[in-house]
Structure 1
C-alpha cells in the first residue's frame, strides 16, 4: 500500500490554515505544508521546534492532523522552547503533543508519515538516519533549506534502506526542500544490503527549469 493523495482534504486544510494564520499575517509555507500533510493523510506528523522560531507552520500541522484524525508531535529543543511553543499554540486554540529532547533520539520510537525539520537549527543527517518511516511511504520537509548550503534531502538517503522517489526544492519562505520517501517494497528486506539493492542502482536527475528532482532505478 502507498500514500494516496486526496486533493479535497488538502484544499480544506489549506483554507483552514489560511483562516487560522490570519492573526499571524499569514504564511505561504505554513499553508502549503498543511495541505501536503493533510492531502497525504498523514497519521503521525512530527516537527522540530526551537525557541524563537515561527509557529505558523506548527498551526498548519495541527490543522492537518485534525483533518486526518492523526497525531501531531512537536520535538522541542529544551524546556524553555516547550513553554514558548505551548503558549503560542494555545493562543491559536491548539494543543499538540510536545516532547523535549534531541530529535535524532526522540524519532527512534516513532513510525513517521510526515516529518518537518528545520535545517538551520537541527542536524538533518542524524535525524534522517534515525527516523523510521511508514510502509506506505512518507514525506519529509526541510525548512530554511535556502539558508543552509549542501543540505538537499536526497543525499541523506543515499545508501540507506529507504529511497527517495521524488524530491523538489521550492523557493517558499526561506526555502523548502521536500522529499517523498518511497513505499516499502515487497522483498526489499530490512536493511540496505539486500540482494535486490545490490543488483540495482539509483540515478538522480534534476530538472533545471523547475528544480524538481527525480530518482530512477537502472
Structure 2
C-alpha cells in the first residue's frame, strides 16, 4: 500500500484551519497548507517536533487534520516546562476536538516510540531537527516530511539524502517561500518496496490562497 491523495479531505481540513486562524493578525498560511496536506494524504500518524515559543497555529492545523483523517497527532517536546507551555496553548482551541498526544524527551527517546509516521513536521530552528528526521520510523506506505524555517537555517541547500536514514527513497521535494521568507521545505518519501522513481512522473498542482492578502500560490507536487 502507499499514500493516496484525497482532495475532498484536504479541502475540509484546509477550510477548518482557515476558520480557526481567522482571528490571528499575523500568520503565514503554513498551518492551513500543512493541515490540508496531512489530511489529504490520509495520515494516520502525524508527528510534530515543537519548539519552545513557537506559534501554536501549526499544531492546531495538524490536530484538525488528524480529526479528518481519523488519525493521531503527536507532539514531541524536550522537557516538562515546554510540555506545560504547549498543553496550555493547544487547549485554548475548541476546534481541536481530537486530543493531541504529547511526548517528552530528546529526539532519540521520543522518536523511538513512534512507529509508522506518515506526516512529520519539524522546525529547523530546533538544534536537533536533523536527528529528528533521521530517527523517524516512517510508515512503509510512504510519508511526507516538512521543515519549517528552512531558509533561516540555510536548509534549502541541504540534501535530503544526507539527512535521512540510508536507503530512504525520496520521490520529490519542493521549497516554498512561506512564513515571511523563512521557507517551508517538503519531501515526499516513497513506500518501501516500491519501484525506483523515474526522473519525470505525474505531478499534482496544489493551490494555496493566503487568507489575509488574497495572494494565490500554485506549486507542482
TM-score by length of 1: 0.81
Question: Is the CA contact 1:153–1:178 (under 8 Å) kept in the aligned structure 2?
Answer: no
Unaligned runs of 5+ in 1: 189-199, 204-211
Q: Are 1:139 and 2:140 an aligned pair?
A: no
Quick one: distance in 2 between partners of 1:46 and 1:159?
17
Q: CA deviation at 1:84?
A: 1.2
Q: CA deviation at 1:159?
A: 7.0
Question: Is the CA contact 2:31–2:61 (under 8 Å) kept in the aligned structure 1?
Answer: yes
- Runs of 4+ aligned structure 1 residues displaced above 4 Å come to 200-203
Quick one: distance in 1 between partners of 2:69 and 2:31?
17
Structure 1 residue aligned with 2:173: 167
RMSD of aligned residue pairs (Cα, Å): 2.6
Q: CA deviation at 1:157?
A: 5.0
Q: CA deviation at 1:63?
A: 0.3
- The 5 Å alignment of 1:51-90 reads 51-90=52-91
Quick one: distance in 2 between partners of 1:158 and 1:98?
24
- The 5 Å alignment of 1:107-126 reads 107-110=111-114, 111-126=116-131
Quick one: distance in 2 between partners of 1:185 and 1:82?
37
- The 5 Å alignment of 1:1-218 reads 1-25=1-25, 26-93=27-94, 94=96, 95-110=99-114, 111-150=116-155, 152=158, 154-157=160-163, 160-173=166-179, 174-185=182-193
Question: Is the CA contact 1:44–1:71 (under 8 Å) kept in the aligned structure 2?
Answer: yes
Of structures 1 and 2, the larger Rg is shown by 1
Q: CA deviation at 1:16?
A: 0.2
Quick one: distance in 2 between partners of 1:37 and 1:19?
17
Q: CA deviation at 1:34?
A: 0.3
Change (3 A) 1:160 1:82: same
More helix by share: 1
Quick one: distance in 2 between partners of 1:68 and 1:55?
20
3-state SS of 1:135 partner: coil
Quick one: distance in 1 between partners of 2:60 and 2:165?
34
